[in-house]
Structure 1
Amino acid sequence: MIHKQKTEKLSELEVIFTEPQHSFRWHEHDYPFELARWNHHPQFEIHLIRQGSGRFFAGDYIGHFDAGHLALIGPGLPHEWSIDLAPDERIVGRDVVLQFEGDSLLKLRETLPELGDLQRLFAQSRQGIEFSGATRRNGVELLEAIGQSHGLRRLWLFLSLLETLNEAPPQESHQLASLQYAPMLDCLTTERMRQVLDYIHRHLDEELRVSVIAQQLNMSEPSFSRFFKRTTGHTFVDMTRKLRVQRACRLLLQTRLSVADICFNVGYGNLSNFNRHFRYEMLATPSEYRKRLER
């Protein structure tokens, strides 16, 4: 009950305005973008990444995304799609975002009982869902079409999109955050996490020190460690390892840098440590992983 009250209280963390003539919000934006960061809000969100690849966060889930990534994010679930960019680099039109009030939609069941079919999808989205296969392809097509439509056709496409996601077979629908994930978020927490993630992204190729970020947040190291684990579901060390390995995976795929060069590029001081951490996350050495990609 306390967590529920906390989530409801935070409904203004990202204020989402729906135009009077629309029942939901559809928009696209570039990256970087001021709201493309670790955030949460009380609306449901269907999110498409048109181009680029990087790290995807949803609660305590950390994964990799590529162009065409499609996800449904439930109310109150923190999320972010992060890409390492060169200074002044910009990806135009990277994101397509559709945000809507699920509770308002379900209230229409009194007159439109068929909408009750969405209840299971909405419940699962509390953990976040990413889609693949035909569900993803059809969902992307419908989401893009909504942006070019008006009136009843726009509403029909929206309901068709929800139907497509709702009918996704199990192999094309993957839930993200763990069931036990329950962050206690407030405005201070959100600002602190923004600073932490910004620090990690900017210094991932260097030695990351808990003492430095704790000092920036005016916290003791033990207090910061407890805060970070409670908010993300990971220790600072675990999160750093996952992000470094994911950056290494991208470099193994997109460049011809040697494993040794990549090791130092992602912040490891020695190759054996890098290999051990990489195998822990990917169940393969960096060399094995690259060979698998080249087949």
Structure 2
Amino acid sequence: MQFVFEKIFVPNNHTFISRQMPLASNRKIHSHKNFEINYITSGKGRRIIGDNVSEFEKGDLVLLGSDLPHCWDLQDYDGNEPPISIVTHFSENIFNSDFFKIPELKQVELLIKEANSGIRFKVKDNKEIHQTLLEMVNANGLEYYIKLLKIFNFLIKIKDREKLSNPTNKLADFTKNIDKINKVYEYVFLNIQEGINLDEASAVLNMAPSSFCRFFKKKTGLTFMEYVKNVRLGIAAKLLAETDKQITEICYESGYNNLANFNLYFKAKMGKTPSKYRKNFRK
């Protein structure tokens, strides 16, 4: 089965990011450095986390550690209620800060260590957790941080939980190339506005461009330029949802140099124009 490496875009002035996402975007097995809280608001199917394969449905709540392969595969979608999850990604280094070393957060620190295996919290469509996660999607600043701590307060109180995976059971071919792929990801994020150059990206791994392109496609399931386009789209969607910047400004900040092309590509991938996408977050 094919594995996909991901780099989650978290802006420099944020430690974590919360989004409502279609479950269809999680159908490939993927991994990322960030920790993840995933709450299913609609839909059901099969969940793969590490070496664990099990069923999920509305209300499913899991916490995933860094570099843990996972995906959600939809089943029985009748087309009426779009399958959606609320996903929070936060830095793998967040708990290395002095703030999280205080005694009051010891239980949170222990919970995060457990997350290396993936944890399913056995709650049944908890409305308070759902509402807090939903509020995090549009929260900012200190309010955002407080709500994340509130979620952790919920999680540490849930005693009925299930360890999902053996953290040591990772495919060698999957793990040995993580550092190489992450070097490419870092290059893309640092240069996305100024412009991405294939020769420069190849040089990051000391490869010829042709060899680099084969390597990247084999390890990620995407061509290098497909990945770059996805990054640009992710940045644009984030800026549209969370800022009041003009669409033209967002176009250039996310690496596009032509507004018409940006609008066409965004609509083709997201199903709506940038302006209509933004309206979803202004209701």
TM-score by length of 1: 0.52
- Work out the CA distance in 1 between the residues paired with 2:101 and 2:165: 33
Q: CA deviation at 1:36?
A: 3.9
C-alpha deviation, 1:128, in angstroms? 0.5
| Structure number with larger C-alpha Rg | 1
Q: Cα distance 1:102–1:31, how it changes in 2: closer, same or farther (>3 A)?
A: closer
Equivalent residue, structure 2, for 1:259: none
**Match of 2:54, as an amino acid?**
G
1:174 aligns with 2:165: no
Partner of 1:130, secondary structure, is strand
Alignment partner of 2:174 out of 168, 182, 186 = 186
Cα distance in 2, alignment partners of residues 59 and 152 from structure 1: 33
Tell me the distance in 1 between the aligned counterparts of 2:8 and 2:28.
15
Equivalenced residue count is 176
CA contact (8 A) 1:53 1:66 kept: yes
Match of 2:20 in 1: 28
Partner of 2:209: none
Q: Where in structure 2 are there 5+ consecutive unaligned residues?
A: 179-283
SS in 1 for 2:143: helix
Offset of 1:158 from its aligned partner? 0.6
Q: Residues 106 and 116 of structure 1 are in contact (CA less than 8 Å); yes or no, is this contact kept in structure 2?
A: no
| Aligned CA distance change for structure 1 residues 173 and 187 (closer, same or farther; 3 Å) | closer
Deviations along 1:228-281, one digit per CA (max 9) or x if unpaired, are: xxxxxxxxxxxxxxxxxxxxxxxxxxxxxxxxxxxxxxxxxxxxxxxxxxxxxx
Match of 2:16, as an amino acid? F
Change (3 A) 1:93 1:86: closer
Could you say what secondary structure the match of 2:71 adopts?
Answer: strand
Q: CA deviation at 1:101?
A: 1.4
Matched ranges for 1:231-246 at <5 A: none
Distance 2:59 2:5 in 1: 27
Task: After TM superposition, give the deviation of residue 86 of structure 1 in Å.
Answer: 7.1
Instruction: Report if aligned partners of 1:102, 1:122 keep a CA contact under 8 Å in 2.
Output: no
1:38 maps to a residue whose letter is I
Match of 2:46 in 1: 55
Q: How does 1:198-237 map to 2 (within 5 A)?
A: none
- Whether the 8 Å CA contact 2:22–2:84 is kept in 1: the answer is yes
Give the C-alpha shift of residue 98 in structure 1.
0.2
Whole-Å Cα distance in 2 between the matches of residues 16 and 64 of structure 1? 25
Is 1:81 aligned with 2:81? no
Compared CA separation, residues 135 and 65, structure 1 to 2 (3 A): closer
Using the alignment, how far apart are the partners of 1:111 and 1:178 within structure 2?
27
Identity score, percent: 22
Which 5+ residue runs of structure 1 have no aligned equivalent?
A: 1-9, 191-295
The secondary structure found in structure 2 opposite 1:182 is coil
Partner of 1:106: 96
The residue identity in structure 2 corresponding to 1:178 is N
Q: Give the structure-2-normalised TM-score.
A: 0.54
Give the drift of 1:17. 1.4
Query: What CA deviation, in whole Å up to 9, does each residue of 1:102-124 have, x standing for no partner?
Result: 42333224774533432211111
Q: Which residue of 1 aligns with 2:132?
A: 142
Structure 1 counterpart of 2:154: 164
RMSD (CA atoms): 3.2
**SS of alignment partner, residue 39 of structure 1:** strand
Which whole-Å CA distance do the structure 1 matches of 2:77 and 2:24 have between them?
Answer: 11
Q: 1:45 aligns with which of 4, 16, 36?
A: 36
Distance (Å, rounded) in 1 between the aligned partners of 2:8 and 2:117: 21
| SS class of match (1:105) | helix
Partner Cα distance (2:100, 2:21) in 1: 36
Could you tell which deviates more after superposition, 133-142 or 37-46?
Answer: 133-142
Query: One-letter code of the match for 1:60?
Result: D
Distance (Å, rounded) in 2 between the aligned partners of 1:162 and 1:123: 13
8 Å Cα contact 1:46/1:72 also seen in 2:
yes
